Amino acid sequence: MAYDCGAMSPGELLRGRREAHGVSQRALAVRAGTRQATISRIENGHEIPTVERFDQLMLALGERLDIDAVPLDPERTLADVRRDQAKSAAARLEEGFALAAFAADLAGAARR
């Protein structure tokens, strides 16, 4: 089963939080009662942990896993969401920067 929510993968999140705490894969594995190879497989996207397992890993880093569901804009279709998910990170950033520039221009025009 592929992980496809258009957001950071569990492995990217795990690696980012582990590195932020200055913890090696081996040390995290010892804390969590698993193997270093398992941590590596998760971080590299070769294994998707269950929510319970991911929560155990976060607890081993001194963090709490917090999952939430957020309603989508009712005017957006599933096709709109899928199209956005298919965009590269660079394309999403470019669109975000363009929106920020537009907002700045709009705010400047409102001050005049």
Quickly list H helices, 21-88: 25-32, 36-43, 51-60, 78-86
Residue 72 inside a domain? The answer is no
> 17 and 55 share a domain?
yes
Number of domains in the chain: 2
Residue 32 inside a domain? The answer is yes
Span 66-102, pLDDT tens digits: 888 888 788 888 898 889 889 888 888 898 899 899 8
Domain assignment of residue 91, given as a range: 78-111
Q: Is the pTM of this model over 0.85?
A: no
Residue 70 inside a domain? The answer is no
> 56 and 95 share a domain?
no
Residue 65 inside a domain? The answer is no
The backbone torsions φ and ψ at residue 35, rounded to the nearest 5 degrees and listed phi first, read -100, 155
> 50 and 86 share a domain?
no
> 89 and 53 share a domain?
no
> 17 and 56 share a domain?
yes
Span 30-50, pLDDT tens digits: 999 999 999 999 999 999 999
User: What CATH number should be reported for the domain holding residue 27?
Assistant: 1.10.260.40
CB neighbourhood size of 94 (10 A): 12
Residue 48 inside a domain? The answer is yes
Which two structure tokens, joined as six digits, stand for 112?
């005049």
Residue 98 inside a domain? The answer is yes
Residue 2 pLDDT more than 70?
A: no
Residue 46 inside a domain? The answer is yes
